[in-house]
Amino acid sequence: MLMSIKHIYETVSGWFTFPLFYSSVVDQAKDGYHFVEVGTWKGKSACYMAVEIINSEKKIKFDCIDTFKGSEDEEYANPNSSSYEPLLSTSDGLYNHFLDNIKPVKHVVNPIRKSSLEVVNEYADESLNCVFLDAAHDYENVYNDIKAWLPKVKKGNILAGHDWNHSPIQQALDDTIGLDNIIKHWASESVWVYKVK
């Protein structure tokens, strides 16, 4: 058994409220599993997942999908906005920052620089074990992401996402999967989970 490595996610800025969920996904995984994180920003959650994968010693493929341009529902590019992100002022700023952040774990992270709907059809139906949606947070984009990614997850496996308490997300879930089908166990981490039937 290899010596485990320490987590590095705390050195990365951004939002990450679901370590227990990510740990459980890796704990329940088997060799050959394939995880996808849609919306990865600066790589905080990706770094956590990558360390968990490394420490598990399991052969798990992990793709991180993002345009690295910010999302349309936030004013990252507006210097007068409280959410202004200077890294977005150059075309590769955020992407290069992400690559710097994941350096210690880059051998288990596969960054894909495309939008969710641009890349989804590159995956075969029922080919994935866990898809985590955390890209745009408006109703239309979340609805489209759920509809697009749901067929890509193997039956009995997991489609999940962040910001469970956000009303547009709950509405999109109700209109696609149905709120009664959502596992509420991870709500304390603001995570919704659906076990694909």
Predicted confidence (pLDDT) per residue in 145-196, tens digit:
999 999 999 999 999 999 999 999 999 999 999 999 999 888 899 999 999 9
Sort strands 110-112 and 128-133 into parallel, antiparallel or unpaired: unpaired
Angle at 43 between CA 42 and CA 47, to 5 degrees: 155
* Strand residue runs (E) in 44-106: 61-65
**In which residue ranges of the chain is pLDDT below 70?**
1-2, 70-89, 93
Could you tell me if residue 178 is left (phi over 0), alpha (psi between -120 and 50 degrees) or otherwise beta? left
- The arrangement of strands across the sheet holding 128-133 comes to 110-112, 61-65, 34-38, 128-133, 153-162, 191-195
pLDDT value for 73: 43
- The CATH code of domain 17-195 reads 3.40.50.150
For the chain, what are the domain ranges? 17-195
pLDDT value for 82: 47
Amino acid at 94: L
